Amino acid sequence: MTSINLSRYRAEWFGGFAALRRDVLAGMVGTFALIPEVIAFSFVAGVDPEVGLFASFVMAIVLSLFGGRPAMISGAAGSVALVAAALVATHGLQYLLAATILCGLIQVVFGLLRLDVLMRFVSRSVRTGFVNALAILIFSAQLPQMIDVTWHTYALIAAGLAIIYLMPRVTTVIPSPLICILALTVLTVLVPMPVTTVAELGRLPEALPHFFLPDIPLNLATLGIIAPYALAMAVVGLLESMMTASVVDEQTETTSSKAQECTGLGLANLAAGLFGGIAGCGMIGQTVGNLRYGGTGRVSTLVAGVFLLVLMVVLRPWVAAVPVAALVAIMIMVSISTFAWDSLGNLLRHPRPSSLVMLATVAVTVVTHNLAAGVTVGVLLSGVFFAFKVMRMMQVTVEYDAATETRHYRVAGQVFFASAEAFADHFDLRDTARRVRIDLTAAHLWDVTAVGALEGVVTRLRRHGIAVELVGLNQASAILVDRHAPLIQEG
């Protein structure tokens, strides 16, 4: 680490006592916003609440040390939980922990190789489709808790939503989701009713997490089971963390190392799996809340994780009494706030290819319940539409000079694998002119497919006794031609 980077790292830990105080308080307040969602997302993934809580605690410790974006809050987030749910349902918790470890290793490699630049290929339409699909999946994951239940559950959900949306008009000192949990828990304790509680979902933490290895067979069959889920969790986690880091960059008007954040996230997930936690990623809502309460340094991330575990161990009996209806209400709020509602109106205003990419991302994700698959399809479609658009921008104009019996072809635009065939089709390979002049001043050859198309045109024309002259090749195109088709510039 260079002296400049070391100085910056120290400043991210301690920027003065006033900043330290703000970081500590912001981290503590952020913890209250973290608790309900971590428990709820654990419930979505089909694991005990302690699995999500352990993960969030461990991830906060590791990312405060090794993360690339100070003030980011990461934990057992919904996007990764949705991917993990299918693995838990079919193979159980131990396989999930193994997949979490592998997910972390993939992310570490991703960061060390500085592959974070690949995230630049994720267009805005794909990102919008990603968050919309995430919102739909989060909401659909709540439906089992709203089927075959008594009216009390529906009443509690309605009351919880009312508290969540109306309480901020009264006070914002305490996050409204936390007030929702407090109020509904007190109500169900004072007025017993037939509703499911967190205690019935699974075990809560009783002590600090401890190191252990997943109890699974170490063979290729196991790798074949966990690898697809690990890769999906890694991609989804990286995508959401990069999006969250970008939000923090924008709000704080600072920059961060995305490659380091990828590596830090991988180390955090690796540690989470080894300490009995589920994989996680950056949490946009909690991170924005941390910034709002004044958290800007690494201490706020550390405090959020440590304070989370302290509360869970100390307040375990109280947390066990929380009605699941409160968590459902919170998740409905999360899905509503996550969905990009303006994208519905933009479907008609935005170009059709962009809207189609967004809809395809949503459709594939919702049908497959695989966020990584949706993003992959969206990125591929974006690439295809972009290539098609650039291809249509290529033009070839033709003129004939009778005095010199020369046919002039003027090429403008980008010649590459998608436009190479259209480029070649503009040439009359049985031309009656004595000479052909191909002017590439306004064109650029991008790949060997383009060079091959040009070589094919020139070779066939010369085969018919026509003298061919190439002019206007820019330096990059000329180098490509000299390397892959040196003979076409001769003659």
DSSP code, position 121: G
d(CA 124, CA 108): 25
Pick the more confident residue, 272 or 18: 272
What is the pLDDT at residue 433? 84
Maximum average pLDDT range among 35-49, 110-124, 278-292: 110-124
Is the pLDDT at 127 greater than 90? The verdict is: no
d(CA 183, CA 179): 6
What is the pLDDT at residue 112? 92
Instruction: Please check whether residue 277 is in contact with residue 54, taking contact to mean a CB–CB distance below 8 angstroms.
Output: yes
DSSP codes of every residue in 6-37: HHHHHHHH-S-HHHHHHHHHHHHHHHHHHHHH
The mean per-residue pLDDT over the stretch 427-446 comes to 88
What is the pLDDT at residue 78? 63
What the block records as the tokens of 154 is 């529906």
Pick the more confident residue, 119 or 102: 102
The mean per-residue pLDDT over the stretch 328-340 comes to 82
d(CA 422, CA 217): 55
Least confident of 160-169, 280-289, 432-441: 280-289
What is the pLDDT at residue 69? 86
Q: Backbone dihedral region of 465: left (phi > 0), alpha (psi from -120 to 50 degrees) or beta?
A: left
Pick the more confident residue, 252 or 92: 92
Taking only the tens place, the pLDDT of each residue in 441-478 is 999 999 999 999 999 999 988 888 888 899 999 999 99
Q: How much is the pTM?
A: 0.74
- What's the one-letter identity of residue 12? E
**Would strands 395-401 and 406-415 be described as parallel, antiparallel, or unpaired?**
antiparallel
- Model confidence at 4, in pLDDT bands (50, 70, 90)? low
The mean per-residue pLDDT over the stretch 205-230 comes to 87
DSSP code, position 489: G
d(CA 44, CA 331): 9
- Model confidence at 490, in pLDDT bands (50, 70, 90)? low
The mean per-residue pLDDT over the stretch 379-389 comes to 89
Exposed e or buried b per residue across 54-89, where buried means at least 16 C-beta atoms within 10 angstroms of its C-beta: bbbbbbbbbbbebbbbbbbbbbbbbbbbbbbbbbbe
CB 220: neighbour CB atoms within 10 A? 9
d(CA 167, CA 179): 8
Is the pLDDT at 157 greater than 90? The verdict is: yes
- What's the one-letter identity of residue 255? T
What is the pLDDT at residue 449? 93
Taking only the tens place, the pLDDT of each residue in 21-71 is 888 887 876 676 677 677 777 877 888 888 888 888 899 999 999 988 888
What is the pLDDT at residue 486? 80
Q: What is the mean pLDDT of the chain?
A: 85
The mean per-residue pLDDT over the stretch 310-333 comes to 82
Least confident of 103-107, 194-198, 282-286: 282-286
Beta bridge partners of 436: 407, 468
Instruction: Please check whether residue 27 is in contact with residue 302, taking contact to mean a CB–CB distance below 8 angstroms.
Output: yes
Instruction: Please check whether residue 321 is in contact with residue 200, taking contact to mean a CB–CB distance below 8 angstroms.
Output: no
Is the pLDDT at 409 greater than 90? The verdict is: yes
Burial class (CB in 10 A: 0-12, 13-18, 19+), 432: exposed
Exposed e or buried b per residue across 264-278, where buried means at least 16 C-beta atoms within 10 angstroms of its C-beta: bbbbbbbbbbbbbbb
What percent of the chain is modeled with pLDDT above 70? 96
Instruction: Please check whether residue 19 is in contact with residue 293, taking contact to mean a CB–CB distance below 8 angstroms.
Output: no
